[in-house]
Chains A and B, each alone.
Chain A
């Protein structure tokens, strides 16, 4: 047993050495901290190998309910540049930056985005922060990130500009892809009922309407009233698909679908990427995944 443990330790030590060697040899990377995983993905795409990206709210985590830990203050203190979404998405950020004593510039990636007023319940102070749900906005993010990186690391200007241009090209293609997919859906079927309130920009950009179920609580167990309200609303507004993540009971969803004739939609990702094994490991995958779910559910 002891022998095995020593062997493991030796292997681990060796691995660290091997891993550390090239890092020491390479030039110092620009340390950028992004507040959440989608923003981190943008920074990675623009920064390429010149930046090292850390995120505060990682994949699969909800930035709305995030509470900073001491280790996060250290991440902020270590960063040379801090990227935030703005629009009130990271209410905790100012305090965290102050507490960490960081001198790093804090940049808002949504600068220049045409802000949309939220009608939701998140309490974001009016503005809807989920601007990245429109690919056109994502391009603004990318441009802002590019400029910020160039300011922070002028030597990498050429790299950042080339990376950003390539990525913007991909986003253009993605935008076209989404528009093509939406136009394939009959106009009168472009609406879903959903408890998500993160798709306002998506709705604005692509014309798929996200209707919130009225007066339905989001507790673990829905009451007869909740189910009745959803059914009535879906029938009355002739909504072809239901995306209700708060009702996790598969049988209940089945019941609602049978009684209304609506299709049950899959999972939509709103605020975070998934981990390496998920369906949405990058921003582009995330938009594609959501679009695919919507297409399948809304197809005539």
Chain B
């Protein structure tokens, strides 16, 4: 029977790549947690997923130009993400098409374009790297990028926190007292994109959204208060990252999916036993209010 130290700590003290993976996962969870909560509260949970696919052609173009180069792929991803976000906004505002439909069209086009671009140069294996990333292969630059993105996310969120929260709760009131809602929304979309780019270096375009939305959904089952929700989301993201890496280390499951699966397991637990609207709690007879 291995000791607790061997199980939980030794993998990280022994191997540098594990420490880096952990640092990357933590930074990712810090930024993605709050973003996920806001996406969820704004009923934009699937927007993250759509945007993740929208990033692909940019990243692929960067990859086509300079291989697995951090800067090129990041810049490409950011540009593609922003372009899709802007086009979606424009189409939704100027035509009869609603925002979700506009986003769906653009992200599907983006995805098809991305896959085409990757296969122009690379093989299927290259495509897999772009789609799945690798949290085990974080070099200094990538780690710094993820950390910088998380920092930026937290700072900007602090600045636009008030308009964002008010707009989530009561958009009509927000519009009547201030016109900061629009700019705040745009800034928020930008944050979504940079967090997805971070995530796709570590987890790939397919799973980057997982570390964003699953913790947010977990938070929803344990708190009514938005601050607590964000806190719980962030903590469950961090825990999933740590536990996922350990599971990958001890059992040989690929790391990225392992992290998301741990988050998924916590989510299922929350879904059943969560204090706020968990299924089991709903089924139990409620205590009557007493005077």
Contacts and interface: CB of A to CB of B under 8 A. Distances in A.
Interface string A200-230: 0000000000000000010111111111100
A254 interface: yes
Interface in B3-17: 11, 14-17
Contacts of A222: 136, 254
B128 A251 contact: no
A224 B134 contact: no
B251 A228 contact: no
A199 B252 CA distance: 27
Contacts of A255: 17, 20, 136-139
Interface residues of B, number: 32
A219 B254 contact: yes
Nearest to B135: A224
Determine which residue in B128, B134, B138 has the highest number of CB atoms from chain A within 10 A of its CB, and name it: B134
B254 A223 contact: yes
B255 A251 contact: no
Contacts, number: 78
B156 to A, nearest CB: 28
B121 interface: no
Nearest to B21: A224
A254 B137 contact: yes
A219 B248 CA distance: 14
B125 A220 contact: yes
A227 B136 contact: yes
A231 interface: yes
Contacts of A219: 254
A217 B14 CA distance: 21
- Secondary structure dominating the interface of A: helix
Nearest to B132: A221
Nearest to A229: B252
B136 A248 contact: no
Interface string B131-160: 010101111001000000000000000000
A217 B139 contact: no
Interface string B224-244: 000000000000000000000
B40 interface: no
A224 B15 CA distance: 10
Most A CB within 10 A of own CB, among B68, B125, B253, B254? B254
Given A219-B254, A221-B256, A259-B16, A249 B248 contact: no
Contacts of B20: 255
A224 B255 contact: yes
B245 interface: yes
B155 to A, nearest CB: 28
Contacts of A221: 128, 132, 134, 254-256
Interface residues of A, number: 22
B137 A252 contact: yes
A21 interface: no
A254 B256 CA distance: 19
A219 B125 CA distance: 11
Contacts of A223: 248-249, 251-255, 258
Which of A219, A227, A252 counts the most chain B CB atoms within 10 A? A227
A249 B67 CA distance: 11
B18 interface: yes
Interface in A113-148: none
A250 interface: yes
Interface in A241-255: 248-252, 254-255
Contacts of B254: 219, 221-223
B98 interface: no
Contacts of B16: 258-259
Interface string A249-267: 1111011101100000000
Contacts of B255: 221, 223-224
A251 B126 CA distance: 12
Nearest to A256: B17
A227 B252 CA distance: 9
A254 B16 CA distance: 13
Contacts of B245: 224
Contact of B139 (A226, A231, A254): A254
A224 B248 contact: yes
B65 to A, nearest CB: 15
Given A250-B67, A255-B136, A231 B256 contact: no
11 contacts: A217-B252, A222-B136, A222-B254, A224-B21, A224-B248, A225-B248, A225-B252, A227-B136, A228-B15, A228-B17, A252-B134
Interface of A: 217, 219-228, 231, 248-252, 254-256, 258-259
Given A220-B128, A223-B251, A249-B137, 4 more contacts: A223-B248, A225-B251, A228-B11, A251-B68
Interface of B: 11, 14-18, 20-21, 67-68, 125-126, 128-129, 132, 134, 136-139, 142, 245, 248-256, 258
Give me the 7 closest cross-chain CB pairs, A-B, nearest first. A251-B137, A252-B137, A224-B248, A224-B249, A225-B252, A221-B254, A223-B252
